[in-house]
Amino acid sequence: MTTLWQASQQIHSAEAHPESFTEAALSAASDINGEGKRVFLSLYAEQALLTSQQAGARWLAGKPKSAIDGLPVSIKDLFDVANEATTAGSNLLASAQPAQQNATIVNRLIQAGAAIVGKTNMTEFAYSGLGINPHYGTPANPWRRDEKRIPGGSSSGAAVAVSDGMCLAAVGTDTGGSVRIPAALCGLTGFKPSASRIDQTGTLPLSTSLDSIGVIAHDVRSCWLLDAVIADAPLTLSECDLTQARFAIPQTRVLDGLDENVSHAWMNALDRLRNAGATLVELPLEALAELESMNARGGITAYESWQWHQQGAQSNPEAYDPQVLTRLQRGSLLTDQDAEALYQQRAAWKNKVEAELTGFDGMLMPTVPRVAPTLAELDNSAVYMQINALMLRNPSIINMLDGCAISLPCHQADTAPVGLMLASTQGKDAQLLSWALTIEIILIRGN
């Protein structure tokens, strides 16, 4: 499948026109036998095609607005679009007042000439790593689609839109892994930048201390290309020599409970990196164990999300997904004093982990410990909560660290998708993506 990076290169060299990519994306989105009706909550077919046609004229004149001018991308239903209600995958906000103006990232996409094909489905209010939505349906994972496996969340529609060719890349959000989890489960690449790099104005919040805006695409260069458009400043990538790399492999929590598919792909990926000359150091990083107690009562996410949802959850609880409501209500039990203690614990924890990572080029870990379960497996509420916690466990470390991370596909062809996560501390985004480019090549060769 053509990537965003490849499409940009083809248009630049006049081998293709942007309209062809947008037409193909819209065709996939409107296929009655496809997942489009569960992927998109709003489809902007007419406007996207017009945008792409106008971009085609600019490319022919040698005056494109950006490297993605006219190319099809999608946005998660957390971002304001002027004159539309931002529903966040909920029934509660379906009749909310329309947004008065676009979110900052939407304006940046428009200024870059991107053909925004639509708003993608998601876990209600972004409060789960599974991607299930009882209101609008759950897009099925591309792997063994007939088995109806979860796409991962909360940016579920974003991942399936990319995997099924309904767009070339997608913008989502990530509070505890919401771009990396669906990327891992759907065999894609998901990049969570340092949160401060991208303006979140006009983005409906989940937990303002942990929220970030990220991207999903087929490869690292495509993530970099889209990130450059929506971020405050683009990243400059550099060549990396794996023989000079030193990566930490945390030993606390992150390797617990790996299923057979993940364990096999993980060990193979590490072998390939070692064979390419990388130094991999097993690091106890025992501070990771502290997260369990910090989040035992819902943590920062529960407290901050309850501040936003308190009125709706108390006045109209039946409008919520019961699984989401249960997690939100945990925040009602946390006082301002509890929250202050959590913020202080987090700050101390962050300093401790950053100190232990000094001298490393990043951390490596499985993005999630198991492959995508079927929707049927999650009908049981207790199983839902258990697997949701598993999916969030590793990715959420990076949000607590206020760092950056990327999930790269590391599975063999024709096997269940598995993600390898490369992560680093705050502000190391350029170095992270540079290393990811090199690692990506090694992983692809292994397939």
Query: Which residues does the annotation mark as catalytic?
Result: 76, 154, 178
CA–CA dist 413, 253 (Å, integer): 28
Bridge partner residues of 172 (DSSP): 214
For 405, residues 6+ apart whose C-beta sits below 8 A from its C-beta are 180, 191, 192, 395, 398, 421, 422, 423, 424, 432
- Report d(CA 192, CA 395) in Å as an integer: 10
| Residue 312 buriedness (CB in 10 A; 0-12 / 13-18 / 19+) | middle
- State the distance between the two ends of the chain, measured CA to CA, in whole angstroms: 16
Q: Are 70 and 56 in contact (CB under 8 A)?
A: yes
What's the residue count for the chain?
Answer: 447
